[in-house]
Chain A
Amino acid sequence: MSIDKITTALVSDATVQVDDLPCALMIFSDKGTIRKVNQKLLDLLGYARNDLAEQSIEKIFTLPTRLFYQTHIFPLLKLSTAVEEIFVQLRAKDGTQVPTLLYGNTINNSGDDEYQFIFVSVWQRKKYEEEIIAAREAHEKAVVDNKELREAKEQLELNAELLDRQVQRLRQINVEYESIGKIISHDFQEPIRKIGLSVDILGRKNEPWNKENYLAKIQQSLGRLQALTLCIDQFVSIDTTNETISEFDVADLIHKAVEQAKTETGISNIELSINVNHRIEGYPGLLTELFVEIIKNSITYRKENTVPEISITGQIAQYNHFRFNLNKYKYVDFLRLEIKDNGKGFDNRYKEYIFEMFKRLDFEQDGLGFGLTLVKKIVDKHFGTITASSIPGDGTSLVLTLPVRSNSDGMI
């Protein structure tokens, strides 16, 4: 159909000049170049025909309209071939804004897609809409400005955060309580049973017993009980630490932990790469302990005849600090640490098991299976997360997230 004339179906020989139409009309190419406009459009915007010929359609859009065109109107036009009843502001030649309703569709002009838009000015409608929006904004502002309401809301939000923390803590304590229960009924019972048996035998008269042998067994079991008790004590003392929260440099803390781990393991030849340039708040003493345990693990479970390599990188990422209440979101900065080694690794099936108390995978090495339990406990204390993944023979990767800022009430 030609832009110049519209033939009506009702009156077969009558034609309508598009310039006479009571709406603005614009035809443009797939590339957004204006092909044709009618007189009404020129009048509405104060342009001469030559001003717009072969120009970009965006010339007659205000900046927000251009944005809206790119994000909404163009995709809609492209996918559905027609758009209707869209409110857009046009930009007149003198810079004034012209409120219009836009209708558009796609036409095929000898193989090429073309688009035609009509604009109807809506000065009155705009006035009503502005009134409606102003009324709504006034209402919203009244709600926001209501001091009591605002304070109550802020208090509610704080309480929600506190509640979330407390529920998390409670859940952690429940899990710990359960695992300590299991330890008392199992791990502690075994050496006690052995001692009882030895004492029993030692007490029998006329038995051809080897006294030294049974005393040694008692000694050994007592040693085991002592070690377990020390672990439990260490575990529980994390909750009752006297340490206060402070801000510190994480790389400094890691370097300190590395030295300690070297001393404790007696192995000082390790390849270390630390790429962490962040300061966070937390319990520096506990976090040093955490890194000592992690680095000791990498050293202890190194591959035979290889120098342990450990790389630690830190990045800031935002995570939701609500964990319990699934409908609450507040994204805050966390330090995300990735700790990789070139050790023996383990089967990924055990990636959660390794954090349980006194659970061990490698029986070639001495150990109680307590290090990672302590690590997990310290992470929990900071309301962080820790996950492990590993490829046997390739090494282990730990991802640790710790909040950058602690809450003022000490519940990190």
Chain B
Amino acid sequence: MNAEILKRNNVQVYGSGKRTMVFAHGFGCDQKMWRFVWPAFQDEYRIVLFDYVGCGGSDLTSYNAQRYSNLNGFAEDILDVCNALDIQNAVFVGHSVSSIIGVLAAIKQPALFSHLLLVGPSAKYINEPGYVGGFERADIVELLNTMEKNYVGWANFLAPAIMKNNEQPELTEELTASFCAVDPEVARNFAKATFFSDNRADLANISHPTLIMQCTDDLIAPMEVGEYLHKNISNSELRVLAATGHCPHMSAPEETIAVMKDYLAKHVN
């Protein structure tokens, strides 16, 4: 069973630390997103990386549209992986929608995690009276259309075959292992589960010490959203990064690592 889960979610374990750090990737890519960040922690932590079913190097035959149309289904992947590795008291690091997926997992099994480090989190993406999420429903529908159009009778740009990389042969292997590859149905369901979710009510159920890493000028998780999370997660700290955009772990890994280390130094004995 455990071996099956590890294979299903393409689980990779590195590092030698006594404590564990679990990295969860966001919508749009896979665990490789973390590769500029995790090596900085491998001396102190055992590093656990995985792909959600349907993403990256996961076992696509395990994909279930009903399960992965709900963020709770993704949260079960985290629970499955952590339980397969018998993880307790780990530091959870989630990017984007994985922040909330980690929150859902932490509510169901609080003892799994000691701290939650959330990069660009949001509890709800769509605006409503009294809440700024950053998007109107029509924007998300348009995003789904843009994704659709990249799949219609045309070379699927996310497919591995076109990802030739002769200049950097060291990358070739991971690229042929389908880089960020997603089946259109998988991508559509993940996008819908992500952008139509509303997890504001779950925030009050988290008592873990939580770091909210808010980027400057993040379209997907604007400042108001970071402040909302900070206000509603009781034991949280909000850090605004100089990094812009939604992927500081890729665009500004040094700053991201420094902020994480700073927080951990203060909060983890």
Q: Is the CB of B157 within 8 A of A83?
A: yes
Report yes or no: A75 in contact with B158, Cβ–Cβ below 8 A.
no
Q: Decide: A74 near B245, CB < 8 A? Known: A66-B219, A80-B163, A129-B149.
A: yes
Which residues from A are CB-within-8-Å of B76? 320
Do A74 and B251 contact each other (CB < 8 Å), given the known contacts A132-B152, A336-B108?
Answer: yes
Contact yes or no, A32 B179, CB < 8 A = no
Closest approach, in angstroms, between the C-beta of A77 and any C-beta of chain B? 9
**A111-151 interface with B by 8 A CB criterion:** 125-126, 129, 132-133
Chain B proximity of A16: nearest CB distance (Å): 23
Q: How many residues on B have C-beta within 8 angstroms of the other chain's C-beta atoms?
A: 54
Given contacts A79-B171, A316-B205, A329-B66, 4 further A-B contacts (CB under 8 A): A67-B139, A74-B250, A78-B251, A319-B72
**Number of contacts between A and B (CB, 8 Å)?**
137
Query: Which B residues are in CB contact (< 8 Å) with A85?
Result: 154-155, 157, 162
Residues of A within 8 A of B153 (CB): 129, 132
User: What residue of chain B has the Cβ atom nearest to residue A129's Cβ?
Assistant: B152
Q: Mark B62-93, 1 if CB is under 8 A from A, else 0.
A: 00101100101100100000000000000000
The prevalent SS among residues of A at the interface is mixed
Task: From known contacts A67-B219, A132-B152, infer whether A80 and B107 are also in contact, taking CB-CB under 8 Å.
Answer: no
Tell me which residues across on chain B come within 8 A of A81, comparing CB atoms: 165, 167-168
Q: How far is the CB of A90 from chain B (nearest CB, A)?
A: 12
**Do B150 and A87 touch (CB < 8 A)?**
yes
Residues of A within 8 Å of B54, CB to CB, are none
Contacts of A76 in B (CB 8 A): 29, 158, 179-180
B244 at the interface (CB under 8 A from A): yes
As a 0/1 sequence over residues 54 to 91 of chain A, the CB contacts with chain B under 8 angstroms (1 = contact) are 00001000111111101110111011111111111100
- List CB contacts (< 8 Å) of B113-166 with chain A: 135, 139, 142-143, 145-150, 152-155, 157-158, 162-163, 165
Residue A331 lies at the interface, judged by CB distance under 8 Å to chain B: yes
B153, B154, B165 — most chain A CB neighbours (10 Å): B154
Shortest CB-to-CB span from B220 to chain A, Å, is: 6
Cα of A126 to Cα of B152 in the assembled complex, Å? 10
Residues of B within 8 A of A (CB): 26-29, 32-33, 35, 64, 66-67, 70, 72-73, 76, 96, 104, 107-108, 135, 139, 142-143, 145-150, 152-155, 157-158, 162-163, 165, 167-168, 171, 175, 179-180, 201-202, 205, 219-220, 244-247, 250-251
Which residues does chain B contribute within 8 Å of A65, judged by CB atoms? 146
Given A58-B219, A78-B250, A129-B152, A71–B66 Cβ distance below 8 Å?
no
- On whether A68 and B162 interact (CB within 8 A), knowing A133-B148, A318-B72, the answer reads no
CB of B87, distance to nearest CB on chain A (Å): 15
CB atoms of A72 and B64 under 8 A apart: no
B165 touches A75 (CB 8 A): no
Interface of A with B (CB < 8 Å)?
A: 30-32, 58, 62-68, 70-72, 74-76, 78-89, 125-126, 129, 132-133, 315-320, 327-331, 336
- In the assembled complex, which residues on chain A have CB atoms less than 8 Å from the CB atom of B139? 63-64, 67
Query: Hey, which chain A residues are within 8 Å of B220, CB to CB?
Result: 67, 70-71
Closest to A88 in B: B146
Contacts of B73 in A (CB 8 A): 320, 329, 331
B72 and A70 within 8 A (CB)? no
Contacts of B150 in A (CB 8 A): 86-87
- Name the one of B29, B155, B167, B202 contacting A75, with C-beta atoms under 8 angstroms: B29
Known contacts A80-B175, A85-B154, A86-B150; A75/B247 CB under 8 A = yes
Counting from the closest, the 9 A-B pairs by CB-CB distance are A71-B28, A64-B142, A329-B66, A70-B246, A329-B67, A64-B143, A315-B205, A75-B29, A87-B149
A64-B146 contact, Cβ under 8 Å, with A328-B66, A329-B73:
yes
